[in-house]
Structure 1
Amino acid sequence: MAKAVVGARGATKHVARWVAILYVALLVAWPVALVFWNTFADGLQPVIETFTDPLVLNSLRLTAIAAAWSVVLNVLFGVTVSILLVRYEFPGKRLLNALVDLPLSVSPIVVGLSIVLVYSTTTGWFGEPLASAGIKVLFSTPAIVLATTFVAMPLVIRELVPVLQEVGTDQEQAARSLGANFPQTFRRITLPAIRWGLLYGVVLCLARSIGEFGAVKVVSGNLIGQTQTATLMVEQLYYDFDQEKAFAIASLLAVISIITIVTVSLLRSRAESRRDS
């Protein structure tokens, strides 16, 4: 009887494993593989032509700028908010903790529309004063940076909060008792303790920022050669029947995502091995 139960459990586990593999293969691996297949179906020449096109290069440059600013702003904001949520008690803490997850639950289209309403030169709170000062936000790089930063905001925080909770405050209190001020304590104690979590958050934030589409499309105006990011260019090229270029850019974005996944996996394995040792 016991052998039969063990055999049934083993069979169930085997079937569940293959069902999971088939599910991931059909939903993720196969479509991504088709993108790569179509990219190189006619050889390397279309790929070379794609990445020597000035419009494509401009869209990649704009994507890199937006992603870089998103990472910098989210690291600064994420570290500050994470320390605030874990180390301090204050009125509205639960509300702030809930608001941090807002970009994960709200559609990027809604995010983009919100930025338009805030920074519109006709109805926005900040749009008209900024325009009077000669600062253009909507349909320009600042709006793209704002949208990209907003959608990627929770990723750094949600990586750092559990790390700070696990580390505790003993070493920080010991440093302060020895006369260290906050910058010294943060640089010598807190930052080394959270470096792996911070690195995970940076990598995930970068991947999320590079792949953003909905919010950026609303706030950028999708102006060709001016405010068109890589993801927006993929859509435009595909519907303009220039699919070879669309597949080439999509393949590049997919490669970046794959590198991100592998990097996070390696970093997690390394961090776990260091923790165990």
Structure 2
Amino acid sequence: MQNATESALPAPAVTAYSSHRRGKPAASAVHRVLIGAAFILSGLFIGVPMLVIFTYAFREGMGVYFSQITQPATLHAIWLTVLTAIVVVPINMVFGICAAWLVTRYRFPGRQLLISLIEIPFSVSPIVAGVTYLFLYGSQGLLGPLLESYDIKIMFTVPAIFLVSLFVTSPFVARELIPLMQAQGSEDEEAAITLGATGLQTFRYVTLPNIKWALLYGAVLCNARVMGEFGAVSVVSGAIRGQTNTLPLQIELLFNDYNVTGAFAASSTLALIAIVTLVLKYVLERKQRAG
């Protein structure tokens, strides 16, 4: 009886192993189907639109393409878009570092409220953000009379573009740094201070090397968002051709003027920026995982 029982014991393990082996091809087939579906959908929703942009941009030849892309209004829009990124991204990097340091290294009343406030730009429509700034700094806004008394005009100028771009992109760097700094803890900084390092030395030689890839990753995302921003900028800039038009607004104006080739030529510039951003994002993600 005992021998019969012992001889029967391995059977369930063999059965389970066999069923596991039989389940592998099915699981592998499901994985292949899902991966294939992901590639197909990515091609339909990302690859095909990209192909259409460059097809329409170059369909009349390289000469026409470069003549459209070098129009003074388009060149100014490109320059203003780049200038906005140059101004906004470094400010948001500083803000993100300060906010992440405060949230992860200190405990104080209102800490959770501060974290929620940092997330607000992701919850508010860019159009609403633009209208809010218009009601705040416009000539009929809350601070309008005060600004006019000092002959200061903010709305429908380049500084207005900077302000709304800062608002809509402010969480990007902080959102990348806060989880990382929470996971890393403060032991390295405490050890450096114990050994006599100043606060600046601790930040430069300890904190910054630990967060550099996350910081750059957040900056890349912030830069992409700044260059593609349309809603908030369209409200506060006035869309003055050759003055306050960023590249997304210039594309809309060209399309509304039935200049399809010019619109797609300008769009190809944003598409190239998106491709470069995607490559940088991929590289920085790998660096962040490795580091």
- Per the TM alignment, residue 150 of structure 1 is displaced from its structure 2 partner at its CA by 1.0
- Per the TM alignment, residue 182 of structure 1 is displaced from its structure 2 partner at its CA by 1.6
Identity of aligned residues (%): 40
2:180 to 163, 171, 183: 163
Contact 2:213–2:287 (CA under 8 A) maintained in structure 1: no
For 2:116, give the aligned amino acid: A
For 2:74, give the aligned amino acid: V
- Structure 2: runs of 5+ lacking an equivalent: 1-17
Question: CA deviation digits over 1:204-229, x for unaligned, max 9?
Answer: 11111000000000011111111111
Q: Is 1:9–2:27 an aligned residue pair? A: yes
- Per the TM alignment, residue 54 of structure 1 is displaced from its structure 2 partner at its CA by 0.8
Q: Which residue of 1 aligns with 2:58?
A: 40
Q: Is 1:137–2:146 an aligned residue pair? A: no
- Per the TM alignment, residue 167 of structure 1 is displaced from its structure 2 partner at its CA by 2.3
Question: CA deviation digits over 1:61-116, x for unaligned, max 9?
Answer: 11111111110210111111010111111111111111211111211101101111
1:255 to 272, 280, 290: 272
Q: Is 1:191–2:224 an aligned residue pair? A: no
Q: What does residue range 225-244 of structure 1 map to in structure 2 within 5 Å?
A: 225-244=242-261
Q: What does residue range 79-90 of structure 1 map to in structure 2 within 5 Å?
A: 79-90=97-108
Structure whose alpha-carbon radius of gyration is higher: 2
- Give the TM-score normalised by structure 2: 0.90
Q: Which residue of 2 aligns with 1:174?
A: 191
CA distance in 2, matches of 1:240, 1:172: 58
Q: What does residue range 264-275 of structure 1 map to in structure 2 within 5 Å?
A: 264-273=281-290, 275=291
CA distance in 2, matches of 1:132, 1:174: 53
- Per the TM alignment, residue 127 of structure 1 is displaced from its structure 2 partner at its CA by 2.7
CA distance in 1, matches of 2:228, 2:196: 45
Contact 1:139–1:227 (CA under 8 A) maintained in structure 2: yes
CA distance in 1, matches of 2:180, 2:260: 44
Q: Which residue of 1 aligns with 2:95?
A: 77
Question: CA deviation digits over 1:118-161, x for unaligned, max 9?
Answer: 1122222x332223222211000111001111111111011111
Q: Is 1:67–2:85 an aligned residue pair? A: yes
- Give the TM-score normalised by structure 1: 0.94
CA distance in 2, matches of 1:227, 1:234: 13
For 1:269, give the aligned amino acid: R
Number of corresponding residues: 273
Q: What does residue range 198-237 of structure 1 map to in structure 2 within 5 Å?
A: 198-237=215-254
